[in-house]
């Protein structure tokens, strides 16, 4: 039997236990951290302060799944939300932050619609972080600028977070460089002799913004020289270092050094893959940067064009790529063809109308390519209106995966909570995103006479009479067909 690391007799007070847990978090001792947090809530009264410390430890050490479970239990989510006002507290915001890091924008946007306005500075900053993660940058900037107005000049520590987030957010935007530079200078002044790692970031952001304004060669030299002076850092280092390599790549691009920019983004990707809170959405972010610099590969462009539910800034780039792909799209020759837009799919020569969930899952795995897609992201895509049933949905997803593996013989790999379709089998599946009307109607419209009888629907999609008439009813509602005649002589016409 393993020795218990935490005993109440050996813990003098809550403060000593908190110090131990912080040490385990910084050293990334995850098993000890999980055991210690369980001991904390078993032996000491649960308070909002302790809950929020636990969320922070889980988040920083990459234990997002455990943090989600803790938030889920505290919010009492289920078939019916028992306490809607809980969505406005810090626990609800932590839950949103965790979802935003893994599950795209669908669920987070639903949370935002029911979220009461945050009242405390802590909650406001958490909301800003959520908006930043889904790349809704303008509202995020508004949140942090509002917070900055509320803190006085004497509370220097409280001003660090807004200044840090504002400089990072303006670095992501392509427009207002002067304002970003001003915030970088103000952040340096606020930091003074405090955390050297934070001061180092501010020292890097100044030449970054100045390079955008002109003379990038000069500021690249200053940036590289400052980057080499990296101080010792804590657990946050990988995600910050990743961002610094992205900043460097942009300056190198401004200098016309595309090869150097490619190398810098490769460094950023290596750090991305090492993040404890890894998500494929962080890699697609790098694909967008490569595309912006004109150094992306066709495979990266293909993934960006089809990857489902990307954060806002990424989705704008993806839409342009998708429009280009649709103009060049050729008829698929693979065994499987899935058209989510027209709600139909083909297996070899047989067409089926109405896409079941396991086939929708297959489509998302195909779209995600070699990156795969996080389990929580899949839950949001497959059940967009059931965002309060996370534990139950996880088991439903397992059943869909089993159907694809057993019934359709697909190989699905699981890595770091992400699902990836086998590389060879990805070639068996085609996604047809240009078709807005069903395959049958598009074929009829190519003929001189587009009229047909209802039996053709059943014959094309292997449907019975009742299902065929239900499909026709939907097509009539959408205006895709018209009815001609009545009774047994009724015919329909594609329009």
Residue 405 sits in a domain whose CATH number is: 1.10.10.10
Reference 219, options 186, 175, 259, 254; nearest CA is 254
What is the structure's pLDDT at 159? 64
What are 340-387's pLDDT values in tens digits? 888 999 999 899 999 999 999 999 999 999 999 999 899 999 998 887
In this structure, the answer to whether residues 344 and 398 fall within a common structural domain is yes
The answer to the question of residue 382 being in a domain is yes
The total of structural domains in the chain comes to: 2
The answer to whether residue 363 sits within a structural domain is: yes
CB 454 within 8 A of CB 469: yes
- Can you give the pLDDT at residue 82? 47
CB–CB of 33/57 below 8 Å? yes
* Residue 258 resides in a domain: no
CATH number at residue 444: 1.10.10
Q: What is the pLDDT of residue 18?
A: 86
Considering the domain boundaries, does residue 14 fall inside one?
Answer: no
Say if 178 falls within a structural domain: no
Position 236 scores a pLDDT of 57
Q: Please, are residues 213 and 241 in contact by the beta-carbon 8 Å criterion?
A: no
Pair (376, 458) in one structural domain? no
Cα dihedral sign, 220-224-230-235: positive
455 shares a domain with 381: no
For position 84, what pLDDT does the model report? 45
Predicted local confidence at residue 66, as pLDDT: 83
Same domain, 346 and 423: yes
Is position 468 within any domain?
Answer: yes
Quick one: pLDDT at residue 75? 63
Q: Does residue 445 share a domain with residue 421?
A: no
Q: Are residues 411 and 447 both part of a single domain?
A: no
**Helices 390-406/375-382 angle, 10° precision:** 90
Residue that has been written with the tokens 């890595």 in this structure: 415
CB 460 within 8 A of CB 467: no
| E strand spans, 263-411 | 336-339, 344-347, 350-353, 373-374
Regarding whether 473 and 423 lie in a shared domain, the answer is no
How many angstroms separate the CA atoms of 440 and 479, rounded?
15
Same domain, 421 and 400: yes
Phi then psi dihedrals of residue 31, to 5 deg: -65, -40
User: At which of 382, 408, 431 does a domain end?
Assistant: 431
> 140 by DSSP, 3-state: which?
helix
Write out pLDDT tens, residues 143-160: 888 888 776 554 555 567
Query: Cβ–Cβ contacts within 10 Å for residue 297, how many?
Result: 11
Domain boundary at 380, 415, 431, which?
431
Residue 377 lies in a domain: yes
Which residues does residue 491 pair with via DSSP β-bridges, in sequence order? 484
Length of the chain: 495
* Shared-domain flag, residues 386 and 460: no
Q: Supply 178's token pair.
A: 């002067």
Considering the domain architecture, whether residues 344 and 413 belong to the same structural domain is answered as yes
pLDDT at 428: 92
User: Is residue 111 domain-resident?
Assistant: no
CA separation for the pair 169, 144 (Å, rounded):
10
Residues of the chain with pLDDT under 70: 1-13, 74-89, 151-159, 176, 193, 233-236, 325-333, 388, 434, 487
Domain identity same for 384 and 411: yes
Judgement on whether residues 342 and 387 belong to the same structural domain of the protein: yes
Final residue belonging to a domain, choices 431, 465, 480: 431
Residue 148 CA, distance from chain mean position: 27
- Residue 77's pLDDT is what? 53
Identify the three-state secondary structure at position 132. Answer: helix
Angle of helix 48-60 relative to helix 90-102, nearest 10 degrees, comes to 10
Range of the domain at 418: 336-431
């Amino acid at each position: 039997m393993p020795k218990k690391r935490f005993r109440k007799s050996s813990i003098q007070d809550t403060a000593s236990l908190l110090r131990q847990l912080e040490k385990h978090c910084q050293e990334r001792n995850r098993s000890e951290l999980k055991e210690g947090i369980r001991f904390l809530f078993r032996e000491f009264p649960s308070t909002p302060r302790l809950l929020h410390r636990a969320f922070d430890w889980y988040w920083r050490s990459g234990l997002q799944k455990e943090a989600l479970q803790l938030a889920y239990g505290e919010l009492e989510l289920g078939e019916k939300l028992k306490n809607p006002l809980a969505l406005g507290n810090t626990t609800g915001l932590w839950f949103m932050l965790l979802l935003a890091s893994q599950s795209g924008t669908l669920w987070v946007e639903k949370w935002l619609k029911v979220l009461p306005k945050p009242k405390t500075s802590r909650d406001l900053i958490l909301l800003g972080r959520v908006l930043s993660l889904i790349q809704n940058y303008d509202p995020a900037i508004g949140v942090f600028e509002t917070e900055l107005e509320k803190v006085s000049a004497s509370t220097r520590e409280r001003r660090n977070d807004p200044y840090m987030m504002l400089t990072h957010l303006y670095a992501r935007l392509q427009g207002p460089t002067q304002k970003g530079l001003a915030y970088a200078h103000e952040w340096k002044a606020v930091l003074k002799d405090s955390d050297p790692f934070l001061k180092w970031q501010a020292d890097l952001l100044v030449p970054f913004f100045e390079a955008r304004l002109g003379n990038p060669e000069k500021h690249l030299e200053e940036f590289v020289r400052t980057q080499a002076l990296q101080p010792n850092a804590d657990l946050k280092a990988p995600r910050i270092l990743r961002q610094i390599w992205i900043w460097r790549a942009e300056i190198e691009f401004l200098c016309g050094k595309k090869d150097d920019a490619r190398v810098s983004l490769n460094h950023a990707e290596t750090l991305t893959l090492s993040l404890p809170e890894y998500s494929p959405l962080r890699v697609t972010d790098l694909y967008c940067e490569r595309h912006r610099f004109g150094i992306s590969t066709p495979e990266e462009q293909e993934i960006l064009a089809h990857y489902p539910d990307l954060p806002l800034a990424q989705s704008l780039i993806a839409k342009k790529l998708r429009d280009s792909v649709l103009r060049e799209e050729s008829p698929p020759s693979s065994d499987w063809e899935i058209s989510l837009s027209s709600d139909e799919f083909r297996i070899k020569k047989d067409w089926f109308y109405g896409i079941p969930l396991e086939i929708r899952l297959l489509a998302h795995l195909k779209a995600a390519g070699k990156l795969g897609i996080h389990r929580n992201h899949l839950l949001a895509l497959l059940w967009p209106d059931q965002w309060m049933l996370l534990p139950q949905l996880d088991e439903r997803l397992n059943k869909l995966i089993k159907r694809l593996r057993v019934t359709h013989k697909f190989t699905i790999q699981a890595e770091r909570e992400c699902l990836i379709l086998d590389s060879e089998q990805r070639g068996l599946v085609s996604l047809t995103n240009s078709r807005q009307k069903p395959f049958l109607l598009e074929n009829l419209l190519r003929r001189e006479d587009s009229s047909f009888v209802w039996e053709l629907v059943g014959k094309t999609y292997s449907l019975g009479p009742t299902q065929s008439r239900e499909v026709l009813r939907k097509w009539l509602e959408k205006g895709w067909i018209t009815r001609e005649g009545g009774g047994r002589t009724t015919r329909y016409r594609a329009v």
